[in-house]
Amino acid sequence: MSGDLLLFSRYLGKDLSVTEIEKVVEHTSFKYMKEHFQTKLRDSVANPNYMRKGDVGDFVNGPYTEEQLKVFNHRIETRFKHTGFYTV
């Protein structure tokens, strides 16, 4: 993941240090977000257990219809195919 962050940061015109990339990797992990969401934001949202497992592809088991998934995938492809970060 850190290699992808390095590419992404360069794409955005930012030079991140190794320490900054490590911090982004840590803070964007589902484990970290779930732990910190539960402690900091629990009282401010209707469903404090909304964080999912974070498994790749698990969104198909979520609340989305087949049509919603098609629209979502089309939008992602359209907006990101030119970046090099989206692969079919």
pLDDT in tens, 19-68: 998 999 898 887 887 777 665 555 555 555 556 666 777 766 777 788 98
Whole-prediction pTM = 0.45
- Whether residue 4 contacts residue 24, with contact meaning beta carbons closer than 8 Å, is answered with no
Q: In whole angstroms, what is the distance from residue 60 CA to residue 22 CA?
A: 29
- Look up the domain containing 32 and give its range: 1-51
**Domain co-membership, 9 together with 40:** yes
**Domain co-membership, 68 together with 84:** yes
**Domain co-membership, 65 together with 45:** no
> Structural domain tally of the chain?
2
**Domain co-membership, 13 together with 41:** yes
**Domain co-membership, 45 together with 29:** yes
**Domain co-membership, 21 together with 64:** no
**Domain co-membership, 60 together with 38:** no
**Domain co-membership, 3 together with 46:** yes
Phi-psi region of 17 (alpha: psi -120 to 50; beta: other; left: phi over 0): beta
What pLDDT does 43 receive?
57
What pLDDT does 71 receive?
92
Spell out a b/e string for 33-43, using b for 16 or more CB atoms within 10 Å of the CB, else e. ebeebeeeeee
Helix (H) or strand (E) holding 74: helix 66-80
- Whether residue 5 contacts residue 25, with contact meaning beta carbons closer than 8 Å, is answered with yes
